[in-house]
Structure 1
Amino acid sequence: MKVFDRYLGTSVALPDKVEPGRYRLLRRAMLNGKTALEERVLLMSDGYDYCVLDGELRHFCETAHRADGDAVASLILRSVQTLAAQYRAQPSAPPSPLIPGELANSVRLDERDEALRQVIDKGHLGEIARRPRYAMKYEAEITQIHRVRRMAPKAVEHLAAHSEDWHSQSLFGVLPKRLLALLSEDDWSIYENKVYARLLDELDDYLRWRLAETQQINVKYEEKRKLEQSEHIHHRLRDRLFELWGDAIDPDEMAQGLEDSRAAIEFLQAAKMHVGMLRQSELYCKVPRSARVAAQLRNTNILMHDSHYRHLRTLWGKYQTRASKQQRPEQVFAGNLQALDDFAHYLRMMIHRVMSTMALVGTQSGSDGIVFAFGQAQGRVSFADTEITISLDERTLVIVPALTEPVDSADTMKPDGTGRLVIACLPSILRTDVPEFAPQHAERYVINPLNFYGEERLMWLIERFLWFPVFEAYGRFIGPLPREVLEWFEQRKLGTVENHQWRADRSSSVIEHKELHACLSSTALNAETKAKISRALDRTNLLSLCRHCGEPAKFTPRGGDFTARCEYCGTHWGVYRRNARRFGEMGVASAREERFERVGSWSSLFEV
């Protein structure tokens, strides 16, 4: 079956191992015989680990179920969903890309947590395990006569029909060897104990989930607090990260949230340990694992009036969620599709924020994308089919959102910043850590609201896309050119003339641009050469301005290369040669080690 591979941008045959969200259908199909898929729909998981299309069996990768069983993944997806909804409602004011305040504040113990605390503190669950209610169960069984304590109702009839159970026979009757007796046994599997066992399962699931989520938020609070005392992070990057946090959540609320998260973690750990011990009790072990209880409890006397069992009803109503987790395959498919669309909107929001903060980029957003100006060039950010395309001067960068990190490196991104790049919301299930971003090893990207450097990563990507041709073209000769044009450049000392060719070395004024235009219009140069000259001057003007603050810089040409430094913000940039290789570099002049984790997108190095 032929499908469109979003990661590679080509049509391919559907492989045996299917990565959810990677392939787009080229015609209608039925997924696993349950979910009807239209043409151009993304092939997502419907909750099963297999994928049957056109009668052919394939399997989804393990990453398909990452969001179903991971509390941290669920927290990330809920954060993305919240931020995407805010951006859809008000696209002109994109919110901070970090975890929103309403979710960060969820670390506080809620009503059901307090109800569980009271039940545990008063020992009701423990008392049920120590002194459970049970029923007496009698079963009829053939037993040796000396062990019989109580005869079964039909013991005589059974003895008369089974002579093998006789010991002897006389004129007075039969002396039995074995007899049908009633044996009593404690029945622990009464309805109330089934409720107790299944409630412990629900509590264990909830506490594991809640603890992992709360610990993750607490970790982010702690990391933010450490930023304030960090000395290895450049102050400009630290200020930018503080601004992101300030937009996401109030600083006073964050301080309170840190204390609340610590208290919540302490309670959740203790409650999880308590429930774990109860699940090792004799009562829990004697209730069959196969015993199930309907979501709506029956009103039995024990559940209504027993001093300990009656508290099960309170907790059951608050924690019984297993039934609500069960969804039909088409619902699971639609949920995964919506999660990917939310992440696509989240990345659009971040790109909007990034481009709005660039001093040399003018943006204007619309319903179908963003129009921007970079120098004299006009570009566009367009959104279609959950993909984001950035176009400028016939160069394009296509960002492909994915829910989970690709199994292999499937990017077709080129060193000049063009091509296709997959950005994932969740790290692969095979990884336990989110890989730190290194610009020189940028094969994989994972960006989400729990990642402090997400916006910095996108900033680095977009800046490389915009600036690469500007740095690469500097110092390149254009020609041969007519003599009158070369004389005009020499008279105004605007660039370098060699061998009937010219290159731009310094910035030019508006008046010089007008005079040059008048000079070029009187020559026989073709439109392509005129456009090259105009573009070279425009790009040199861009290089003479600081990309952070937009102020004119101290610009020093160096024989086809250059160095520049902004006196206002202290940043530097230029074109340098090392070991016969040519590099474009942008950085912070005061930084000794310009690693990404230290300075973020303030530093960038690429070969031109």
Structure 2
Amino acid sequence: MWIDRLTGDQIDRLPDVIEPGRYLDTDPSSGRQVLDSEGSGLLVSDGTESVVIRGQRHIFASAPKSLDQKVDLFERILETIDSSLEDDGDLVSPLMPEGVVNEDSLLNAFELKLLEIIDAGHLHQISMRPRLDLHYEDEVTDVARAKKLAKGALVHLASHSECWQRQTLSGVIPKRVKARFSEDDFNIYENRVYARLLDKIEQYLIWRVGTLLQLQSAVTEALEFYGANDLHHRLTEEICKLWGKAFTQDSTSKASEQLAATLEHLEKALGTIRGLKQSGLYLLVSRSAQIGNGLHLTNILSHDQHYRHLAVLWNELKSIVGGKQATPEERKEQNVILNHAYSRYAGLVLRHALLPYLGNKLSSKWARFNIELRQVGFDWQLVLSSADSDSDGRILLEVIPWMSMGSRLHDVSFVLQEKERPVTMIAWPNIDDKSLCSGGAATEAIWVQLSPFDLYCVERFGLLVDKLLQSELVSGYSAAITKVPTKTLKSMPFDAGFEVNEEKHQFRILKALTNEHLSKVESSLVHDNALQQTRDLKRRHEEIVELQKCPVCSGPVEVVHQAPSGFIAACSSCKTNRYLRGNAMEREYEQSLDGLISFELVGRRSFLCKL
């Protein structure tokens, strides 16, 4: 049996094309998930074209080759962030770490040597004046074409009368002779090294330039946030604060300048290499002539003033890109490790999104609720329970981190929406997005982008969390507390926060009460043994107290009741307006910052949701 992580279904047979990281092996005897500390239950690719699983042949879906560079950069960033995660202390930034940018923005030893050799003209000299060998070939040809007789030409002529033109008294006048022809041979070992080295350098530079362009795009976007005028300042401050945990504004500017300088050098070198491949010696060497990983140092490669630099470049490049390929077992193990790292990364982003509610903890009390963030296998759950109850609570949000680098083969949105389960979001890198950076929409149905390239990553999850928790908070507003003893109703103090209905034996709380009035009503309810009503009173009051705190700036706000069961709360400090509209049967809650509703402009601070 297998568990589909995205839908939660158990399946007997895997599809022919398997999406890596989607399926978990189970124990056939119990149906329970097999998930030890190494994550051996996760089905991931080992890099081979096909694999046999329980007698059936399958292939793994993979990202297009054009995305290899982005995938490699994503994995390196993920590993760097994962290595810096700590259980205690401040949360690390989930955005691109400074170490990766600084490491990649500097020219390495191979690149410095390459630029030096190009500037000295050694590669151009080899291209224009290559070493060559003479290839000799004997051929029977017309006398007019022969410039040099081959060895044994006279013997051949004496024994082949068909090559005679005529015979005289003094000898034979030949018509055809065995001649020796010489031809320049450019396909010597050293020239094959030159040609294949150009191929390797071009491939490497394409990879490096692509990586630097991706880093430059992310750094440039971060710099734009520092001076953005069209975005709300609270959004830019929050994102710059996250970015600032990895970069300061000054270091970001320096990194941008260094990236631009390195890009200029490498793009120029790439242009030079491509020029060398389009002329001269490269075109004279057979494309099928290959060189193994090991380089044989001939006299020419060791001592020639130009060719000896080829061996230096070859060895420097080999030390950078590596020569040994990982085995399928090693690739599989690495992919499992990366999936675990991606799961922990999702937890890091969720913890950042929950900072207004949990602080730097995994559980805390907020308003009348206990909130807890749990990790279950690879997934994360946001659990909500009443603070005055011993129940285990209910799952409010479930996030499934899925490190899929390719396109989604099957959209499971419809399947999940049909199931009776908590709000479920699938977090995936969206690596094939051409921009790979911040988009305009927070989510796409059940899909939410989770990537260190995305400056809005915490904002996306923050919006999910805010909508769910704020909806829970306002859903109880103006709810009637019923079956209240008559004695309590008659003895209730005069307070604008109460709305009493003696005929129905109920009352509502519409605004926060004074401590004196709250204590008096609680005492009366307890005296009349109305324990459930006492709990309801505390819950409704704690909700209103929390509503009087602005969710954006935490400043004090007056909650003004709007008949029949809504309210309006306007923050004078940050211009955040909140509205609860409708009746008891159908209501909607809206929060807007300074009249802006676009996620791209204000992030998590504006939204509309149905209750």
Shorter-chain TM-score range: 0.7 to 0.9
From the superposition, tell whether residues 167 and 583 of structure 1 become closer, same or farther in structure 2 (CA, over 3 Å): farther
Structure 1 distance, partners of 2:27, 2:183, is: 63
Structure 2 distance, partners of 1:279, 1:355, is: 55
Q: Counterpart in 1 of 2:99?
A: 102
Structure 1 distance, partners of 2:418, 2:592, is: 22
Compute the displacement of 1:146 (Å): 4.8
Q: Counterpart in 1 of 2:56?
A: 56
Compute the displacement of 1:148 (Å): 4.3
Superposition pairs for residues 117-266 of structure 1, below 5 Å? 117-141=115-139, 143=141, 146-150=144-148, 153=151, 181-266=179-264
From the superposition, tell whether residues 26 and 129 of structure 1 become closer, same or farther in structure 2 (CA, over 3 Å): same
Structure 1 distance, partners of 2:555, 2:21, is: 44
Note if contact 2:90-2:360 (Cα within 8 Å) is conserved in structure 1. Answer: no
Q: Residue type matched to 1:9 in 2?
A: G
Q: Residue type matched to 1:550 in 2?
A: S
Other structure's SS at 1:380 match: strand
1:375 maps onto 2:375 in alignment:
no
From the superposition, tell whether residues 165 and 325 of structure 1 become closer, same or farther in structure 2 (CA, over 3 Å): farther
Structure 1 distance, partners of 2:435, 2:100, is: 23
Q: Counterpart in 1 of 2:273?
A: 275
Note if contact 1:434-1:446 (Cα within 8 Å) is conserved in structure 2. Answer: no
Q: Counterpart in 1 of 2:403?
A: 403
Name whichever of 415-424 and 597-606 sits farther off: 415-424
Q: Counterpart in 2 of 1:93?
A: 90
Number of paired residues? 583
Note if contact 1:427-1:434 (Cα within 8 Å) is conserved in structure 2. Answer: no
Structure 2 distance, partners of 1:96, 1:442, is: 27
Note if contact 1:409-1:444 (Cα within 8 Å) is conserved in structure 2. Answer: no
From the superposition, tell whether residues 547 and 179 of structure 1 become closer, same or farther in structure 2 (CA, over 3 Å): same
Q: What percentage of residue pairs aligned between the two structures are identical? A: 27
Q: Counterpart in 2 of 1:11?
A: 10
Note if contact 1:546-1:566 (Cα within 8 Å) is conserved in structure 2. Answer: yes
Structure 1 distance, partners of 2:218, 2:161, is: 77
Question: Cα deviations across residues 118-140 of structure 1 (Å, max 9, x unaligned)?
Answer: 11111111111111112222345
Note if contact 1:545-1:552 (Cα within 8 Å) is conserved in structure 2. Answer: yes
Other structure's SS at 2:567 match: strand
Q: Counterpart in 2 of 1:542?
A: 546
1:571 maps onto 2:581 in alignment:
no
Question: Cα deviations across residues 40-63 of structure 1 (Å, max 9, x unaligned)?
Answer: 621112213434312322332233
Q: Residue type matched to 1:472 in 2?
A: S
Note if contact 2:498-2:508 (Cα within 8 Å) is conserved in structure 1. Answer: yes
1:385 maps onto 2:362 in alignment:
no
Pick the aligned partner of 1:463 from 463, 466, 488.
466
Compute the displacement of 1:570 (Å): 3.2
Other structure's SS at 2:373 match: strand
Note if contact 2:293-2:323 (Cα within 8 Å) is conserved in structure 1. Answer: no
Compute the displacement of 1:483 (Å): 3.4
Q: Residue type matched to 2:464 in 1?
A: L
From the superposition, tell whether residues 246 and 375 of structure 1 become closer, same or farther in structure 2 (CA, over 3 Å): same
Name whichever of 454-463 and 411-420 sits farther off: 411-420
Pick the aligned partner of 1:561 from 545, 558, 566.
566
List runs of 5+ in structure 1 lacking aligned partners. Answer: 29-36
Other structure's SS at 1:557 match: strand
Note if contact 1:73-1:426 (Cα within 8 Å) is conserved in structure 2. Answer: no
From the superposition, tell whether residues 282 and 52 of structure 1 become closer, same or farther in structure 2 (CA, over 3 Å): farther
Structure 1 distance, partners of 2:403, 2:39, is: 21
Structure 2 distance, partners of 1:139, 1:503, is: 108
Other structure's SS at 2:402 match: strand
Other structure's SS at 1:586 match: strand
From the superposition, tell whether residues 136 and 481 of structure 1 become closer, same or farther in structure 2 (CA, over 3 Å): farther
Q: Counterpart in 2 of 1:451?
A: 454
Pick the aligned partner of 1:427 from 414, 417, 431.
431
From the superposition, tell whether residues 489 and 551 of structure 1 become closer, same or farther in structure 2 (CA, over 3 Å): farther
Structure 1 distance, partners of 2:301, 2:567, is: 82
Compute the displacement of 1:166 (Å): 5.3
Q: Counterpart in 2 of 1:31?
A: none
From the superposition, tell whether residues 435 and 99 of structure 1 become closer, same or farther in structure 2 (CA, over 3 Å): closer
Note if contact 2:482-2:505 (Cα within 8 Å) is conserved in structure 1. Answer: yes
Q: Residue type matched to 2:99 in 1?
A: E
Question: Cα deviations across residues 306-357 of structure 1 (Å, max 9, x unaligned)?
Answer: 111111122112212565362211222222222222222222222222323x
From the superposition, tell whether residues 257 and 180 of structure 1 become closer, same or farther in structure 2 (CA, over 3 Å): same
Considering only aligned residues, what root-mean-square deviation do their CA atoms show, in Å? 3.5
From the superposition, tell whether residues 107 and 136 of structure 1 become closer, same or farther in structure 2 (CA, over 3 Å): same
Q: Counterpart in 2 of 1:33?
A: none
Compute the displacement of 1:558 (Å): 0.6
Q: Counterpart in 2 of 1:344?
A: 343
Q: Residue type matched to 2:89 in 1?
A: S
Compute the displacement of 1:91 (Å): 4.1
Compute the displacement of 1:577 (Å): 4.3
Pick the aligned partner of 2:299 from 291, 298, 301.
301
List runs of 5+ in structure 2 lacking aligned partners. Answer: 29-36, 386-393
Structure 1 distance, partners of 2:143, 2:27, is: 77
Note if contact 1:108-1:257 (Cα within 8 Å) is conserved in structure 2. Answer: no
Q: Counterpart in 2 of 1:289?
A: 287
From the superposition, tell whether residues 179 and 436 of structure 1 become closer, same or farther in structure 2 (CA, over 3 Å): same
From the superposition, tell whether residues 335 and 489 of structure 1 become closer, same or farther in structure 2 (CA, over 3 Å): farther
Q: TM-score, normalised by structure 1?
A: 0.85
From the superposition, tell whether residues 347 and 414 of structure 1 become closer, same or farther in structure 2 (CA, over 3 Å): farther
Structure 1 distance, partners of 2:505, 2:135, is: 108
Other structure's SS at 1:62 match: coil
Q: Residue type matched to 1:401 in 2?
A: P
Other structure's SS at 1:48 match: coil
Structure 2 distance, partners of 1:513, 1:5, is: 51
Structure 1 distance, partners of 2:550, 2:165, is: 114
Other structure's SS at 1:379 match: strand
